[in-house]
Amino acid sequence: MEDLNRQIEVVKSKYQLKKPIYLSVDEWAPFGRDLMSVLAVAQYFNSFIRHADVVKMANYTLLTSLLQTDREKGSFKTPLFHTFKLFSNNCHGNSIDTYVECDTFNTEKHKTIPYLDVTTVYSKESESVFINVVNRHKDKAISAEIINNSGEFGRKAEASLVTADSLRANFTFDKQKEYIPVTKEIDVKGNKISYSFPAHSFTQLKVGVKEYEAKE
């Protein structure tokens, strides 16, 4: 997505375009019935949120259902459904620039990729921020401090966790209750939250915020 942003800026400069150029991402979705594909979906969402100034439409493919079906027992909700619901129900408002500093890894094509993939959305209606975190490390939980530089958090935060023991095990009808996100309350101190993100997981934190009042 960063490459596309750069290409847009080059085109605007070359042709002296004053109007903005927006993107529509059509028919997106990873294929798979395991946690690996769910974490990919969360990272798709994070990418769209991170580039909300450019991506104005993103259509999930109809070829991939949010439900999974057992031919003998029927349809059931998987972590894919619950992850999609957390994003689509809660991430309404403004995308907030989020600075991330953590350990990184390399691939053949890309270098220094942070293990934590993070976006933040501010909802003025609920006076809350939703912090979306994918821990891409296969085996290691990562502890982090989340600091609000533009105000103070409320006293409590709520974490919703989506994960599984295995990245590659197929979801099954009999385990559907295990796929419901685990929620817990977190204590907040001023403008700081301390939290440990489990290995290969998606976590959404919801926390109230209040802006600093200007002093005369």
Q: Residue 10: which CATH number?
A: 2.60.40.1180
- pLDDT for 63: 59
What pTM, to 2 d.p., does this model score? Answer: 0.91
Contact assessment for residue 206 and residue 90, using Cβ atoms and an 8 Å cutoff:
yes
Distance between CA atoms of 125 and 54, rounded to whole angstroms?
23
Torsion angle of C-alpha atoms 185, 186, 191, 194, degrees rounded to 10: -150
Residue 80 lies inside a defined structural domain of this protein: yes
- Output the six-digit token pair for 70: 């057992």
Closest to 195 in 3D by CA, of 97, 79, 77, 116 = 116
- In whole angstroms, what separates CA 194 from the centre of its chain? 18
Residue 49 lies inside a defined structural domain of this protein: yes
Residue 175 lies inside a defined structural domain of this protein: yes
Residue 216 lies inside a defined structural domain of this protein: no
Could you read off the pLDDT tens digit of each residue along the chain, which spans 216 residues?
Answer: 777 777 888 888 888 888 888 999 988 888 778 999 999 999 999 999 999 999 999 998 865 578 899 999 999 999 999 999 999 999 999 999 999 999 999 999 999 999 999 999 999 998 999 999 999 999 999 999 999 988 789 989 999 999 999 999 999 999 999 999 999 999 998 899 999 999 999 999 999 987 644 444
- pLDDT for 212: 45
**Number of structural domains in the chain:** 1
Residue 66 lies inside a defined structural domain of this protein: yes
- pLDDT for 32: 74
* Range of the structural domain that residue 201 is part of: 2-211
- pLDDT for 11: 82
Distance between CA atoms of 142 and 103, rounded to whole angstroms?
9
Distance between CA atoms of 83 and 162, rounded to whole angstroms?
7
Residue 35 lies inside a defined structural domain of this protein: yes
Q: Where are the beta strands (DSSP E) in 85-150?
A: 94-96, 104-105, 113-114, 116-123, 128-135, 142-147
- Helix, strand, or coil (residue 6): helix
- pLDDT for 122: 95
Contact assessment for residue 141 and residue 69, using Cβ atoms and an 8 Å cutoff:
no
Residue 138 lies inside a defined structural domain of this protein: yes
Residue 106 lies inside a defined structural domain of this protein: yes
- pLDDT for 151: 78
